[in-house]
Structure 1
Amino acid sequence: MTVTASQVKELRETTGAGMMDCKAALTEAKGDMEKAVDILRKRGSATLQKKAGRVANEGIIDAYIHAGGKLGVILEVNCETDFVARNKDFKNFVHDLAMHIAAANPLWISRDEISPEVITKERDIYKEQALNEGKPEKVIDKIVEGKLEKFYERTCLLDQPFVKNQEITIKNYLGELVGKIGENIVIRRFDRYLLGEEE
């Protein structure tokens, strides 16, 4: 099947991916726009894995202050080159991220940062809840794992659905940007401040 220039243009505008990547994805998806978007997303995640080992010591620090000045976020995101640090897409990503953190209040960037003690405690709570609800012994482990996934979704930045597009997680959004820019991008650290909140 032939992929038209207008299809490539539409997919490019939707995803921000390169022209050749869009054409290849559309060809693979036999012209189905939704499938082509999924293909590009998966490739973005694959690119993210490939680039993850490269050193990222450039980047920017950004801040987001919510209307009324009672909630604010300061955030550092790193990339490999100063050129990318000045890139509009990169800057937009960092600002979106700061706004997302203000709204979604993650506790950690990724699951790797959570101490084993916290995970053990959560598992114990979920197991106790399932037993108290009279759930059969054979399904308790599955219930605990499901609740643990929800816990990651609530508390880990990379697992959270992006506030501006609930269809994707922050990890998907990061993967798409890495695929588009071609550099390793690392969310280094953030702080979220709520007026009057205790440290």
Structure 2
Amino acid sequence: MAEISASLVKELRELTGLGMMECKKALAEAGGDIGKAEELLRIKSGAKASKAAGRIAAEGIVASHVTADGRIGALVEVNCETDFVARNEELLAFGASLAGMVAADAPADVSALGASVEERRQALVQKIGENISIRRFERMQARGRIASYLHGTKIGVLVDYEGPDEVGKDLALHVAFARPRYMNRTEVPADVVERERAILTARANESGKPAEIVAKMVEGGLNKFTGEISLLGQPFVKDDKQTVEKMLAASKAKLHAFRFIVVGEGIEKKASDFAAEVASMVKAS
């Protein structure tokens, strides 16, 4: 068997980005031939990537990009399995490049990002050893101009507005904090309103008050509900004495649209018992 030097292992590790022991084993199997060892690792790493794809990736990042003229913005969510990997510089760079691509190319959906992006994703999976997925993106072409806000790497916001710079920043910050579902009350779907009306009516009827009082209670409750889930009706994050709508009016500003992404929202995370996992590993060994 050919002697496997540390420098050879290091070279293969730099070529593949895989672990030292994996590289050493591949070199031994290939008789010290670094080319054959790299091929072996590609085969084995491909199997690892396939296995990783079955694991839940509920952590991750949101990356953003706004064009220099402020007219086009994009948010991209890239998921991974652990918060540790979510801080990986290569993952962050991958997300940033995707956001720039979405802004520039306006793909129809994630699958339209192309084969080269998929190759980069697979290479990242092989190098990092976790399932990594491009879950979704939002692209906005502004009627006014775009302000963006990233809360760490977990929440990303774009707002299309007209007015002072400070208003755009404040709007984006507010959206990250309040996470409104609609722009204004009129956008709230009728079925959402009726479902809430039924709940409020049942609750008000239990009070035993006259029908006309119950009706007023229900309407008051609906008014509060639609205000809380609609951006313009929400209390402004920097001054809860006024709504976002009133803040905009006072600033002579206008909001056209908003988009936001929260990492992992809607993904069912698998509960894990770390102690049990360790005990299981010890028992298996």
Q: Above 0.5 in TM-score?
A: yes
Larger radius of gyration: 2
Structure 1 range deviating more: 98-107 or 51-60: 98-107
The Cα of 1:16 is off from its aligned counterpart by 1.6
CA distance in 2, matches of 1:25, 1:192: 44
Aligned residues of 1:43 and 1:179 also touching (Cα < 8 A):
no
**Structure 1 outlier segments of 4+, above 6 Å:** none
Q: Which residue of 2 aligns with 1:94?
A: 95
Please tell me the residue identity of whatever aligns with 1:17. L
Deviations 1:90-132 (A, max 9, x none): 223322433454566543323xxxxxxxxxxxxxxxxxxxxxx
RMSD: 2.9
The Cα of 1:81 is off from its aligned counterpart by 1.9
Please tell me the residue identity of whatever aligns with 2:8. Q
1:58 aligns with 2:59: yes
Q: Which residue of 1 aligns with 2:22?
A: 21
Please tell me the residue identity of whatever aligns with 1:18. G
Deviations 1:51-72 (A, max 9, x none): 2222221111001345665654
Picking from 161, 175, 179, the partner of 2:126 is: 179
CA distance in 1, matches of 2:39, 2:139: 32
CA distance in 1, matches of 2:42, 2:142: 37
* TM-score after normalising by structure 1: 0.57
Q: Could you say if the C-alpha distance between residues 31 and 53 of structure 1 is closer, same or farther in structure 2, counting changes exceeding 3 Å?
A: same
Q: Which residue of 2 aligns with 1:153?
A: none
Identity %: 49
Give unmatched runs, 5+ long, in structure 1: 111-155, 162-169
The Cα of 1:18 is off from its aligned counterpart by 0.9
Q: Could you say if the C-alpha distance between residues 3 and 99 of structure 1 is closer, same or farther in structure 2, counting changes exceeding 3 Å?
A: farther
CA distance in 2, matches of 1:100, 1:180: 23
* TM-score after normalising by structure 2: 0.42
CA distance in 2, matches of 1:109, 1:18: 30
**Counting helix residues as a fraction of each chain, which structure ranks higher?**
1
Please tell me the residue identity of whatever aligns with 1:181. I
Greater RCO (Cα-Cα under 8 Å, separation 6 or more): 1
Q: Which residue of 1 aligns with 2:6?
A: 5
The Cα of 1:188 is off from its aligned counterpart by 0.5
Give unmatched runs, 5+ long, in structure 2: 144-285
